Structure 1
């Protein structure tokens, strides 16, 4: 990979998305979309598609922008800060990433143009009931005979499955995990909505009962891992953006809320809490951007950087959102105040596409296996 844009261009892209979110995705809009059946702000998604965001990672020969992780992370910061209710992660990042990594030119030519245009909503089913994103935990099996395949099993925590026009499924085969495409409306598929703490997010459980499927490419788990890396970079960006937004909201409240004749931000305890949260917010942004940069430059430590960002950004967002409610006081415990929307997003994203504990364990395992140069002091 390479960084296809200059710093000035990336700043302009981020500013354009930030302005769109401010103009068309305010809190009132988010709350309205939360109450819809599919939870997708389709007018906003159309506007993002017009800007090229839906096809951000799609190669230009398939109608996309052909950009990479660095641009992806910056845009994710803006969508995360605004709690945007779109299929960005599932369609434009995870599914598009799987298709590109599959190196199946025919499938890419057939599916990616619609994803890039925003007219096709796509999603992918990888996760088992326990929520793990490990190849050994894939709970859908493929039975292949004479070039035809049928899928049986269950995938959980699939984003926007009920709205998907394209559904990719990771299933086990004698050769290991493989990628398949199925028709989302096949009668052998049962989609059940799962309850979510974050009402801006839609998750489904999909049961496959001998569903006909078409294999996509010949690449195995490494291709799926490549798509997951991009997805984790985007998730970290959204978490960093959300963390910064709720932090800024809290600091502004501390400046204007008068108690005992002075702004509460003037009290030492509040100052210390705010300083600690600022450190968390800045650290999350640094971790997310570093992961994106290392992935774009194909650095040897990119895997460790992404795992670090996956749990560090999740932990920081959850801590900032929870502390923000305490700093706001009683008003933040009401449904009408937006603070709880960020807490809900923070908690849900801590498990989406794999838990913080999973990536913390992976990170520690990787760095523990590395040689360490330790010498006695002279």
Structure 2
């Protein structure tokens, strides 16, 4: 049974959306364009992002119509993210549209939604969620920033790490502790009390930043930040799994094509039975990861009670699948794959970088073991 059949076939409109995004990326996000984008000031191709937003409306898909969006389900965004993962095209999709926009929605602050979400939906504004401390735990009960009441608002002190798109975002949503509890705040990054810097990353296609606050003025979005972040983390894990499936599929395709052209002992290496078996195993991992990812997004779109568990499964399985496929791709390509000029190393680095986002796989495994009453 195919991954799509396992969770219900996509609609014609959803398939057309995937086709449109794939065609646009094929034209504007080839490997050379992706490399040039990573070397730009902000680490992404602003012209490509504008095309995706204005011609396709990718940033508006998961934002409700009342806040300037299209109001589609999570499935549509999932298909877009899968194609973005396939090309490794760096865009604000995961950081701004998934993390930040969904945290604003999860806060339940209607005023903030009305002010901030239309710009994000249009792609004219980029938002970033400042969540983790330097340990990178993505814990919903703590943060690296503290908030103190000041007049009619709050002042924030501390630093957030691993902030997707944080170095150039127009709006910051900040998780900060207030009297031991996590709350979410809106912060204008233009104020002098906010400093931010883009940091070097192993995966150059993912822009991360450190954002520091020195008494920055903030507006409270919700005092119940823990529950909002729990919801955002589920959405983020499902979205990330779509990227990982796309990247794993493309990494495998590149490997298969190489083994058809690389000749050894007078014949293509892909004709050797041992390598056929190995690539068949990789294909199995890609397709089972796709099933886990599609199952998770279907649960998310339907609001199923199993959404949290399905998101965790997708996070763990898709992270491990991409790492396995990318590692075998390096080996099957031989020495050329570890050179900077070859694309295989980019997928390898994306695999290991993505596995750390939103919590390491082993963290989710321990949670699932605990929930099932199994010994650690």
* TM-score bracket relative to the smaller structure: over 0.9
| C-alpha contact (below 8 Å) 1:140/1:155 kept by paired residues | yes
Say whether 1:223 aligns with 2:228. Answer: yes
Q: 1 CA distance for matches of 2:94 and 2:108?
A: 20
Q: 2:31 aligned with 1:27, yes or no?
A: yes
The 2-side partners of 1:361 and 1:194 are apart by: 30
Alignment counterpart, residue 101 of structure 2, candidates 73, 80, 96: 96
CA contact (8 A) 1:73 1:288 kept: no
- Say which is worse superposed, 189-198 or 10-19, in terms of deviation: 189-198
Counterpart position of 2:78: 73
Does the Cα contact within 8 Å between 1:255 and 1:264 map onto a contact in 2? yes
Cα distance in 1 for residues equivalent to 2:142 and 2:343? 37
Q: In structure 2, which of residues 150, 155, 158 is the aligned counterpart of residue 150 of structure 1?
A: 155
Aligned to 1:85: 90
1:70-219 map, 5 Å: 70-174=75-179, 176-219=181-224
1:288 aligned to which of 278, 290, 293: 293
Larger displacement relative to structure 2 (288-297 or 141-150):
141-150
- 2:62 corresponds to 1:40: no
Deviations, residues 343-370 of structure 1 (Å, cap 9, x unaligned): 111111111222222222222222337x
Q: Secondary structure at the match of 2:60?
A: coil
Cross-structure match for 1:374: none
CA distance change for structure 1 residues 175 and 131 in 2, over 3 Å: closer, same or farther? closer
- Counterpart of 1:49 in structure 2 is 53
Contact residue 99 and residue 128 of structure 2 kept, 8 A: yes
Q: Residues 351-366 of structure 1: matches in 2 within 5 Å?
A: 351-366=356-371
SS of residue in 2 equivalent to 1:208:
strand
What is the match of residue 322 of structure 2? 317
RMSD: 1.7
Alpha carbons 2:142, 2:177 under 8 Å: kept: no
5+ residue gaps in structure 1?
370-378
Measure, in 2, the Cα distance between the counterparts of 1:137 and 1:156.
13
Task: Output aligned runs, 1:268-347, within 5 Å.
Answer: 268-347=273-352
Give distance in 2, aligned partners of 1:245 and 1:305: 24
CA contact (8 A) 1:304 1:366 kept: no
Distance 1:194 1:145 in 2: 31
Q: Structure 2: which 5+ runs fail to align?
A: 1-6
CA gap 1:309/1:67 in 2 versus in 1, 3 angstroms: same
Distance across 1 between alignment mates of 2:231 and 2:166: 22
Residue 219 of structure 1 and its aligned partner are, at CA, apart by: 4.0
Task: Return the TM-score normalized by structure 2.
Answer: 0.94
Of 349, 355, 367, which residue of structure 1 is paired with 2:354?
A: 349
Contact 1:131/1:355, CA 8 A, preserved across alignment: no
- Give the deviation of 1:221 after TM superposition: 1.5
Inter-partner Cα distance in structure 1 for 2:151 and 2:226: 23
Q: Does 1:367 align with 2:372?
A: yes
Partner SS, residue 373 of structure 2: helix
Cα distance in 2, alignment partners of residues 243 and 365 from structure 1: 29
In structure 2, how many angstroms separate the alpha carbons of the residues matched to 1:114 and 1:286? Answer: 33
Distance 2:367 2:199 in 1: 27
Most deviating of 113-122 and 57-66: 57-66
The separation in 2 between residues aligned to 1:301 and 1:365, in whole angstroms, is 16
| Residues 305-351 of structure 1: per-residue CA shift (max 9 Å, x gap) | 10111111111101101110100112212221111111111111111
Any conservation in 1 of the 2:140–2:229 contact (CA below 8 Å)?
no
Contact 2:201/2:207 (CA < 8 Å) preserved in 1? yes
Match of 1:251 in 2: 256
Q: 4+ runs of 1 displaced by more than 6 Å?
A: none
CA contact (8 A) 1:69 1:233 kept: no
Tell me the SS of whatever aligns to 2:71.
coil
